[in-house]
Amino acid sequence: MTLVLGFNDYLAPAQQLAHRLSIPFKQVDSHQFPDGETKVTLPSDLPKQVIICQTLNQPDHKLIELILVAQTAREQGVEQITLVAPYLCYMRQDIAFHTGEAVSQKIVGKLLSDYFDAVLTIDPHLHRIKHLSEAIPTGQALALFATPAMTDFIKKNVENPVIIGPDEESMQWVKAIAKTDQWHYSIANKQRFGDKDVAVTLDDINLTNRNIIIVDDIASTGRTLEQTVKQLLPQEPKSISIMVTHAFFVDDAIKRLHALGVTNIWSSDSVLHSTNTFSVIDILAQAVESLSTT
């Protein structure tokens, strides 16, 4: 028997995962003391196999929570612990850009591999490595794509869109989406000078009166999207929509994008946000099923 364990701050998707896998769900009780420390209490009678479903935005507190849960589960006799983390933190710092910087991807990856037998996630930001197992050296480390869910959503909601990627990295997602119905696409060129300082240049393509969808994995400050929208506006498209897997949209990012005239902002439930419109839980559930049959 397998059980899904979830937390109060990512409850509905974890329950949905259990439902989709037709296995029971139980919640971990997590209490934060006034000084910021965490106490977790696991349900009793855990089976031999447990799937922990927690997304890792705002990760520092959640990582401690996860380790406490995983270690306690082991001590209670759980043999196989799988982590389903729709958003996987600390993947962007994959080298030391300056002397003395910690390579967070490797350190956090190793930490997770110490506690989990398998780790599954969606669109982790793997820039200089090809496979998630290079960051998380555990038995099975799977990086899945949100693009099937994105494509389904677009097909149902937008007629003949043009898909725009804001930078070279987005090409993989943009191409995967565009090929479904031979939609037009274009990839912009991005230069980042600082957290909130980004320049984007677009190829010369005619977008007048077209429905444009900008696709990216993460929206953090929203500056990448904002600069892309600014480049698109002079072409007078019919609409500009934004679609991302992981929606952070920190500070006033959403307000700024709407102020520019963005029609729709769509995101997946990998991170809970008011823009969530499509789900990646089915994709994760299918991958969990394939793990158990291999």
Q: Which residues bind ligand R5P (CB under 6 A)?
A: 166-167, 169, 198, 216-224
Please identify, using beta-carbon distances, which residue of 71 and 276 lies nearer to ligand R5P: 276
Please classify residue 249 by burial: count the beta carbons closer than 10 Å to its beta carbon, then call 0-12 exposed, 13-18 middle and 19+ buried.
buried
Q: Give bridge partners of residue 198 from the DSSP assignment.
A: 192
* Smallest separation, CB 220 to ligand R5P (Å): 3
Please identify, using beta-carbon distances, which residue of 151 and 245 lies nearer to ligand R5P: 245
CA distances to 22, 65, 133, 194 from 103, rounded to whole Å, are 39, 22, 16, 19
* Smallest separation, CB 227 to ligand R5P (Å): 8
Alpha-carbon distance of 90 to 94, in angstroms, equals 8
* Smallest separation, CB 134 to ligand R5P (Å): 18
- What is the dihedral sign for C-alpha 265, 194, 125, 9? negative
Residue 287: count of CB within 10 angstroms of its CB: 18
Nearest Cα to Cα of residue 278 among 290, 286, 270: 270
* Smallest separation, CB 58 to ligand R5P (Å): 16
Please identify, using beta-carbon distances, which residue of 120 and 198 lies nearer to ligand R5P: 198
Phi, psi of 88 (to 5 degrees): -105, 125
* Smallest separation, CB 224 to ligand R5P (Å): 3
Please identify, using beta-carbon distances, which residue of 16 and 55 lies nearer to ligand R5P: 55
Please identify, using beta-carbon distances, which residue of 158 and 219 lies nearer to ligand R5P: 219
